[in-house]
Amino acid sequence: MTADFPPPRYVGTRGAHPVDFRTATLSGLAPDGGLFMPDRWPDAAGRIRRLAGAPYAETAAHLLTELGGDSLPPAAAAELAADAYRAFTHPDVAPVRELRDGLHLLELFHGPTLAFKDFALQVLARLFDRFLELDGRRALVLCATSGDTGAAAIEACRGRRAMAIVVLHPEGRIAPLQRRLMTTVDDPAVFNVAIEGTFDSCQSLVKQAFSDRALRRACGLLAVNSINWSRIAAQAAYYIHAAHQVGGPPPVFAVPSGNFGDCYAGHAAACMGLPVAGLVVGTNRNDILARFFATGRYHPGTVHRTLSPAMDIQVASNFERLLYEIRDRDGGAVQRDMAGLARGEAIAVDERHRATIGERFTGSRVTEDQTIDTMRDLRDACGIQIDPHTAVGVAAARQAGALDSQYRATSAPVVALATAHPAKFPDAVRQALGEEPEVPDPLARCMDAPERLTTLPADYARLADHLRRAAATAAEHAR
């Protein structure tokens, strides 16, 4: 099947000229320093309607075809999506469960690392592999992690033909469970490095590596950025799949948000024709997004540690995509906004634009107490454990008036995105519920398996040496 309209091309939010999907995927960041955006939204309303009842991988494949154009022929997209979601442990991949009258939970934690980042990274790694192979190139994926992303990236990159992966984590500073999810992966192309330093040291080493041109060329360094366009493309699929499963009138989605990628994918689905009643942007105490939707001013604050650490962020990278649309796709205006932000100035949006985005988005900030109360309420009322990130989304929906005090939908059905399995955050579960989370198989297994990792000082020369050797070892194995 071909797309109903010519596929989009990808422009930079700060004015870069359009490129195709393949170039946008392999580049991650646009050459103007901004993010890639489709030059227009494909009108896929008819196709989306016809996907009602389709298996998850089919929905994902259609969306990738719609957005990928010539870079990804339909047969290739179908094969890629089927393969990406094959290892998910639930037959429906992204099942929806009704908890209360009109409150639904969209379970995004049945992937290999039990969190929703698997949905995007399993696709991104396969796209990389495909595009690299077509070019006859190899690549070494390099990233730093303080928790979830590293494990999801490793699970996505293992076993790929053209890639190896090196993940840096700060020694002794990540939860043992998070570390074990990475270090127990037994694959000759997966390299874990514990850096004697903080997460910031890890990030700064990664930056140094990417600015070392000789090393970049020698290893073919590649980033699994949270701002890669294809991650958004992959995530939009579960909004469509969930809306079809719920049926009836268009739903409100409640989205626990940090970098704003997940929520932006819901917006993208709506822009392509999925009927959506609204998007509730739930934040923890790190509330830059909630403040923006309430006031029209975007201004970072200081980062606080919370029970929902994957959202302890004060710069929401994907916000730049929405800003580009608010500025009527004027790259120069976004460039000026971002330069001002770098100087410490706020980005301000006028009342007319704020009213327009307010028709789709509602921001809501959730306290630690509300997070705990919500976890407890849902356990008591519905007998289920939810993770603290998911709780932020549910509490935000209630605060925004989409749910009543008994968590019943007030008008439209509510779909709360369950972004992680509660077992990934055992301390929060213990604190909120006074009980242990049930530990699913993949986690139980990694608690016993042997760990493989190298410890290095926070020294760039030592890391560079290690990266060269990792790339060579992986290439050797691939032959």
Q: What are the angstrom distances between the C-alpha of 162 and each of 190, 299, 474? A: 13, 41, 9
Under rule CB under 6 A, how many of the chain's residues touch ligand PLP? 16
Taking the CB of residue 298, how many other CB atoms lie within 10 A of it?
22
Q: What are the angstrom distances between the C-alpha of 276 and each of 159, 227, 445? A: 37, 23, 39
CA distance 187 to 470: 12
CB nearer ligand PLP, residue 215 or residue 240: 240
Among residues 389, 422, 432, 471, which is the contact residue for ligand PLP, using CB under 6 A?
389
Residue 229 is a binding residue for ligand PLP (CB under 6 A): no
Q: In this structure, are residues 167 and 152 in contact, taking their beta carbons and an 8 Å threshold? A: no
Q: In this structure, are residues 124 and 80 in contact, taking their beta carbons and an 8 Å threshold? A: no
Residue 115 is a binding residue for ligand PLP (CB under 6 A): yes
CA distance 254 to 105: 10
Among residues 65, 230, 257, 284, which is the contact residue for ligand PLP, using CB under 6 A?
257
Residue 111 is a binding residue for ligand PLP (CB under 6 A): no
Residue 365 is a binding residue for ligand PLP (CB under 6 A): no
Interface positions, 301-360, toward ligand PLP (CB under 6 A): 310-311
CB nearer ligand PLP, residue 131 or residue 361: 361
Closest CA to 118 of 84, 169, 160, 168: 84
Interface positions, 118-177, toward ligand PLP (CB under 6 A): 148
Q: How far is the CB of 203 from ligand PLP (least distance, A)?
A: 16
117 is catalytic: yes
Angle between helices 261-271 and 229-246 (to 10 degrees): 70
Residue 262 is a binding residue for ligand PLP (CB under 6 A): yes
Q: How far is the CB of 421 from ligand PLP (least distance, A)?
A: 9
* Angle, CA of 281, 304 and 145, to the nearest 5°: 85
Interface positions, 394-453, toward ligand PLP (CB under 6 A): 419-420
Among the listed ranges 28-36, 79-87, 254-262, 402-410, the one in contact with ligand PLP (CB under 6 A) is: 254-262
Catalytic residue among 9, 14, 117, 379: 117
Taking the CB of residue 239, how many other CB atoms lie within 10 A of it?
31
Residue 178 is a binding residue for ligand PLP (CB under 6 A): no
Q: By the criterion CB under 6 A, which residues form the site for ligand PLP?
A: 115, 117, 148, 256-263, 310-311, 389, 419-420
Residues with catalytic roles: 117
